[in-house]
Amino acid sequence: MAKIREGYMPYLGHQTYYRIVGERKGDKKPLLLLHGGPGSTHNYFEVLDKIADLDGRQLVMYDQIGCGNSYLDGCPELWTKETWLNELVELRRQLELDEVHLLGQSWGGMMSIIYECDYKPEGVRSYVLSSTLPYNKIWETEQKRRVAFLPEDMQEAIAEAERTENYSGEAYERAIGEFMRRYCSGPFDENAPECLTREKKAGSEAYIYGWGPNEFTPTGSLRDYDYMEKLKGFRRPCLIIDGEEDLCSPYIAKLMFDAIPNARWELFPYSRHMCFVEEPEKYNRILIDWLNEND
């Protein structure tokens, strides 16, 4: 069983929590994991802990400022891409992660794209873009297309919320819950890994001010996110992963695959937005092979 070490990094006068699984061994570069949201937590990445044993590779995960063990609110001015990208830069510096593989899921994949395209970082051996997006408009369009498959009363509740900009109420919450059940994750029962059922402190403020009120209404600071053209200049090996019923639809994944030079694409036919949870054995196998190919 791999050793687990936890700690905190000072950042912007606050504390960023990190969790390190396993030791650095030989030429195997650590895998640095960027969670989704903005405002989710590292928790679900703990299902990947076994990679430290299966592959003898160190994993590094953390709760981005604003959520989980790095919880913070009452600071809406902080929830920008610069806050989170500079936190990533500082984490790599403080933990001496000179050479890494970077896996970003959902918003974490957006971070990876911004990082590679705008920051041109050194020492990133490869990227894994897991269930993410190249630009907001296609994400919004694909999710609204899927809303049309919901029961009519749920469609009406969502339409009413958009008209009034009142994203609350029982009918709206029920509609969003069903949408997320179909295309994101859950529900998790007592047989699910503990990290998926553990109570967590989600960063609701970070999500609303960073992204928006729901997955198909990007009104926050990331509303102008569009890296479609910049993807053509991607310099590092890149593995794209998505699920058949993922928020990142196969169409979105294909757009990234076509744009990024020499990318590889793996589609998970029995998964929604968390492929590593719903098809873990396949995910681990593909990920381990990819990391070893690109060390």
pTM: 0.97
User: Which pLDDT belongs to residue 115?
Assistant: 98
* Residue 178 in domain: no
pLDDT, position 1: 83
Question: What is the per-residue pLDDT for 272?
Answer: 98
How far apart are alpha carbons 104 and 112 in whole angstroms?
A: 6
Place of tokens 């967590």: 200
In a domain? residue 23? yes
> For 217, which DSSP code?
-
What burial class does residue 153 get, using C-beta atoms within 10 Å of its C-beta: 0-12 exposed, 13-18 middle, 19+ buried? Answer: exposed
In a domain, 166, yes or no: no
Q: What is the pLDDT of residue 196?
A: 96
Range of the domain at 106: 4-143+195-293
pLDDT tens-digit map of 109-131: 999 999 999 999 999 999 999 99
Query: For residue 132, what pLDDT band results from cuts at 50, 70 and 90?
Result: very high
Residue 176 covered by a domain: no
Instruction: Give the per-residue pLDDT at 280.
Output: 97
N- to C-terminal Cα distance for the chain? 23
Q: How many domains does the chain have?
A: 1
42 within domain boundaries:
yes
Query: In this predicted structure, what is the pLDDT of residue 25?
Result: 87
- For residue 185, pLDDT beyond 90: yes
Average pLDDT over residues 213-225: 97
What's 246's domain CATH number?
3.40.50.1820
What average pLDDT is seen over the chain? 97
For the chain, what percent of residues have pLDDT higher than 70?
A: 100
Average pLDDT over residues 136-162: 97
Residue 254 CB burial class (10 angstroms; 0-12, 13-18, ≥19): middle
**Position 285 in a domain:** yes
**Is there a domain that residue 154 lies in?**
no
Catalytic sites, residue numbers: 106, 246, 273
Question: Does residue 156 belong to any structural domain of this protein?
Answer: no
